[in-house]
Amino acid sequence: MSRPVGILALQGAYQKHVDSLSRLGMTSQLIRKPIELDDCSALILPGGESTTISLLIQEYGFYDAIRSFSADHPVMGVCAGLILMAEKVDDDRVTPLALMPFKATRNVYGRQVHSFSADIKPAFTETGFRAQFIRAPGIENISENIEILATHEDKAVMVASGKHIAMSFHPELSDSTAIHEYWLNR
């Protein structure tokens, strides 16, 4: 049996990724200690509160562990997870892991009350995808090494480089598993 996909479970919206992965026939493991990464084939950094998750990453000794895991395993960042994957963040309270060369801007898509959904059309699907944005971050200063996989109102909302992908919206809140599947097959 293949090794599970790890989901960082320090804070935030990690649980629904378990369902998305199981609909794809994949097992997952909630990660609360760096050593647990050793069993995993890939890692999801879920949505939540990036300032809190960043503090917990430092406190639990995940900073170097995730960076070295990412050298040879795929990482997917969702919303706050995207903020953590960035090289730079517009908020000093977040120490980003710098896994992808772009700058994340927090809460550009409004406050919690302004959450919304929108149809996007990722480059790798024939059909559209209903994306849920919850106080979503923007993606700026995108290096030329990055592929833009989807846009919303002419702004990048989903990007990839190498094995890694990051998105402003929450794919685990959709009925579709297309994005998890694309990432794992990448």
CB 134 within 8 A of CB 170: yes
Q: CA 27, CA 17: separation in Å to the nearest integer?
A: 11
Per DSSP bridges, beta strands 42-45 and 5-8 are parallel
- Choosing from 73, 79, 152, 164, the catalytic residue is 79
- Contact segment (CB under 6 A) with ligand GLN among 2-10, 55-63, 122-130, 131-139 equals 131-139
Q: CA 27, CA 105: separation in Å to the nearest integer?
A: 32
Q: Which is nearer to ligand GLN, 52 or 176 (CB)?
A: 52
Of positions 80, 131, 158, 159, contacts ligand GLN by CB under 6 A: 80
Q: Which is nearer to ligand GLN, 71 or 113 (CB)?
A: 113
Binding residues with ligand GLN: total (CB under 6 A): 12
Whole-number Cα distances in Å, 135 to 124, 166, 172: 25, 15, 16
Q: Which residues are known to be catalytic?
A: 79, 170, 172
**Binding residues vs ligand GLN (CB under 6 A):** 47-50, 79-80, 83, 106-107, 134-135, 137
